[in-house]
Amino acid sequence: MVDFLMQYGLFLAKTLTLVLAIVMVIAVVGAIAHRRRQHQQEGHVEVRSLNDRYQDMRNELEHAVLDEETLKQQIKAERKKEKAEAKVRKKAAKEGKLDELPERKRIYVLSFDGDMQASEVELLREEVTAVLSFARPEDEVVLKLESPGGVVHDYGFAASQLERIRRKQIPLTICVDRVAASGGYMMACIANKLIAAPFAVLGSIGVVAQLPNFHRLLKKNDIDVEVLTAGEYKRTLTVFGENTEKGREKFLEDLEDIHCLFKEFVSDYRPQLDLGLVATGEIWFGKRALQHQLVDELMTSDEYLFKCSENADLFEVRYEQRRGLQERLSELAVESSDKVLLRWWQRASQTRFFMR
């Protein structure tokens, strides 16, 4: 009987050990899977060589345009050049002088397409963090910027991401092909070099705020709205309550203060500007913006990047977020409705501009 109990106890101990081992393996696998899912949901950085893209385009044209003999000679010359460069690097590595070879400049290309809330700032902050973790002072960051402006604090935060690049002493070039106005120009002015297309819209260094007031309508229908606050200026203007002249004055004072902060910010990065002339809320097209020193050069982003690719390695950096099916369907619906509204506006609008 004692022997049986000992054998049974040993069996239970082995079984318990096996069960605990299986549970631990499942727990470890589950933790790894959870971390992996969490990482995938957070997103990841994608990097693409623009030099390779330009070369692929060139190769396609060469095969279509050049005759067979000329193409063979060109390919032969390119291979000879590559072999010579590889030979130089191999010799330098053998002699321990690889560090002495001149390295090509690297240019990291980012994009920002701004809306009212500067929604892409969450992507921009990740892209900037990724680039700053590897970029050297001799490299360059190019931002392709498009934005008509929006909410002050959102664009202030977006501009702060670009300030991180400047503080690291890495040259920042910003290219504007269509529009960088108001909050968009707040971001653009940070550049060491600001480039714009000839008909890009820039400027609008001003602040605007508007809200409806339904007080008279509610009063006409005998509807009372009580706005209770603690603090003299907790609420200056309201949508439903009765607005006072004192409240309006305070609201205008706040707007003027924001405008002053905006002008100070622009002046810090572009001290050559005559703020009395350009900080009026007006906008200027590229050529006029150059005359007012709002930009440094007229050129499209495509022209600038293609020119740089001759002497530098260009890398397009994008932060891609993992999105669920519901989010993708919602985004598709919004894009479709935007296209419908745009077509309707184009047909309904009575004011059109023509170039003759």
Nearest to 290 by CA among 193, 165, 356, 206: 193
* Residue whose pair of structure tokens reads 């790894």 in the numeric block: 32
Give the burial string for 318-344 (b: 16+ CB within 10 Å, else e).
bbeeeeeeeeeeeeeeeeeeeeeeeee
Question: Which of these is catalytic: 94, 133, 220, 234?
Answer: 234
Residues 6+ apart with CB under 8 A from 180: 145, 146, 147, 174, 187, 188, 196, 200, 201, 202
Cβ atoms 197, 300 nearer than 8 A: yes
Q: How far is CA 199 from CA 128, 177, 222, 286, in A?
A: 28, 8, 53, 5
Residue 234 falls in the annotated catalytic set = yes
Residues 6+ apart with CB under 8 A from 275: 205, 263, 266, 267
Residue 182 falls in the annotated catalytic set = yes
CA triplet 209, 210, 212: central angle to 5 degrees?
Answer: 160
Residue 63 identity: H
Question: Which of these is catalytic: 182, 193, 219, 309?
Answer: 182
| Pairwise CA distance, residues 290 & 303, whole Å | 18
Residues listed for the chain: 356
Surface-to-core class of residue 183, CB atoms within 10 Å of its CB (0-12 exposed, 13-18 middle, 19+ buried): buried
* Residue whose pair of structure tokens reads 């994608």 in the numeric block: 46
Residues 6+ apart with CB under 8 A from 212: 239
Q: Which two tokens stand for residue 81?
A: 């050049």
SS (H, E, C) 194-241: EEECCCCEEECCCCCCCCCCCHHHHHHCCCCCCCCCCCCCCCCCCCCC
Q: How far is CA 45 from CA 2, 54, 280, in A?
A: 66, 21, 40
Cβ atoms 89, 123 nearer than 8 A: no
**Residues forming the active site:** 182, 234
